[in-house]
Chain A
Amino acid sequence: MNPDGYPLTINGAPMNTMTILVADDDPVIRKLFEKRLENAGYEVTVASDGFEAARLLDATTFDVVITDLVMPGDIGGIELLKIAKEKSVDIEVIVITAHSSVDTAVDAMKKGAVDYLEKPVNFDELFLRLEKIAEVKAMLKNAGDLREAMNVTESSAAQTIQDLEIVNSNQQMLLDKLEAILKNSYKDEFSRIEEALALLESR
């Protein structure tokens, strides 16, 4: 992120590709979030209360939910946090709180919120937090991709090894039988060889 709040780009494409849902009942704050986050390259959707946010979460998925802790109606920030985490543990939730209710924000973090911000929101701070979240998400994705690649390699190697193990075991059994036939001193050499050849041909 450069100091003006514009996204850094790689070959012209914005780096910030996370989708963010902002829930706040104050229209001025909502507009501010929308503008600043969009300018920073994020894909932003806004909701004017917990209900609308819950409905949006039900219809589509987001990487991050930023929610005011106190909103009118039955769905406040804590309830929205619960709804988001039930939908997917991968959705990261940042709660916004008044300075006086930091305890509630800490409680939200115990319930799974990734972070909290105090009002008035310092956007530089928010952008830093979002970049950290994006980094962790990228690392988790990378680890998941590696695990997937390892599983594919492992299962393909396993099949090869198992095939060889069975082939080898069958060859060993054949060798054991041949040895028994050829060492059988009750028969003359000619019939031993004949029997050994018959065994080889019968494979």
Chain B
Amino acid sequence: MLKITPEEIKLITKYIYEISGIYLDESKKYLLETRLNGIAEEQGCTSYQDFYKKAKMDPSKAIERKIIDAISTNETLFFRDTGPFQLLQHKIFPELIDARASKTPVLKTNLKIWSAASSTGQELYSVAIVLQELLGDLSKYSIKLLGTDISDAAVAQASSGKFNKFEIERGLARDKLTKYFTLAGQTWKINDQIRAMVNFRKFNLMMPFAGLGKFDIVLCRNVAIYFTLEDRKKLFNKIADVLEPDGYLIIGSTESLTGICPRFIPKRHLRSIFYQLK
């Protein structure tokens, strides 16, 4: 395996920060080596200095994309941590649908939901499944579920709606598995009806949020932990800008907005917390 020197760690972590906003400190030597070694060898690099140059000079940005795919953590599960999904099912969806339906009783009820770091799609598909179970007939609603991630590979897999047995078996109950997925060879594929509810695309959370529109619910779980404090503040400020005045923000169960964004107030429902604008 290609060894990385302390100088190269500085160089590479700075480069990763520039292209993705992911902040790795110098203790992440092992992570860098294990995740980047494959790409470095594939590119025939003799050192990480060389690797850095090749990545920066590559006009197609293919190496840059591969680095982002390798470095962004894709640990995600269907219904990872049941709290947020129970929160959506029993509190947020009923409240929101009530509020929206009484506002426009004649028109279709609009709902816009954004999974800001959707990884390989499990979270957003889980949200879609909860909505389907809760509402049954979706024809009275106009529901837009958007998933974005910085990794092309993650977005591609999310869009395919295909999961292997390890990705699917953890977290997903047997009844939901057989109801919403079909087995094709070794992979499970999400049913067309659920697939049609969601959209995935590449997006870097460091960029301006112009053009995204407003959302009723934003899920931004376990991604800000990879950002610097300054970037976290900017991120949640931008999220506050794109949230409807009565919208909901859900962050990771071990994350906190204390000292990050005073525009949000935390509210508790059972064993979960969600945030709303002041």
Q: A interface vs B, CB < 8 Å?
A: 89, 147, 154-155, 157-159, 161-162, 164-166, 168-169, 172-173
Contacts and interface: CB of A to CB of B under 8 A. Distances in A.
B258 A164 contact: yes
Q: Which 6 pairs between the two chains have the least Cβ-Cβ distance?
A: A158-B253, A165-B266, A162-B273, A157-B254, A158-B254, A168-B258
Contacts of A161: 253-256
B254 A166 contact: no
From A155, A157, A158, A172, name the one whose CB has the most chain B CB atoms within 10 angstroms.
A158
Contact of A165 (B81, B165, B170, B258): B258
A165 B253 contact: no
Given A89-B169, A158-B253, A162-B271, 14 more contacts: A89-B165, A154-B253, A155-B81, A157-B254, A158-B83, A161-B253, A161-B254, A162-B253, A162-B266, A162-B273, A165-B256, A165-B258, A166-B266, A166-B268
9 contacts: A147-B170, A154-B253, A154-B254, A155-B253, A162-B253, A166-B266, A166-B273, A168-B258, A172-B262
Contacts of B258: 164-165, 168-169
Interface in B71-130: 81, 83
Interface in B165-212: 165, 169-170
A168 B265 CA distance: 10
B247 to A, nearest CB: 18
B156 interface: no
B12 interface: no
Contacts of B36: none
A65 to B, nearest CB: 19
Contacts of B255: 161
A155 B271 CA distance: 10
